[in-house]
Amino acid sequence: MVGCGKGVDRAIYSRSGGVMTERDWCDDSDYDRAAEQTERMARMGWTAILGVTGLMGVAAIAAIVLCLAAAAGMFYVVMVITR
């Protein structure tokens, strides 16, 4: 782009009838804002994924502990009955 960053401010007419200057062609603020928002949403998504995965891990450990407790209880009952 000719003139980007050089302070050139020549009018350019768009098809829709609006007037843009060459500085407007160099303005990346919308892109930068969208890129920052995308990165923020990606971080939020990964945080949610990690949180749910952690909760599933805790639930799996709790289920294993409950199964072991039930097995120990059954073993105790069998030992008491067979005395």
Phi first, then psi: give them for residue 3, nearest 5 degrees: 90, -5
Cβ pair 10, 16 in contact under 8 A: no
Return the SS3 of 58: helix
Average of pLDDT values for 55-73?
98
pTM of the full predicted structure? 0.56
**pLDDT class of 28 with cuts at 50, 70, 90:** confident
Pair of tokens at residue 10: 């020549």
Pair of tokens at residue 9: 């401010």
Return the SS3 of 20: strand
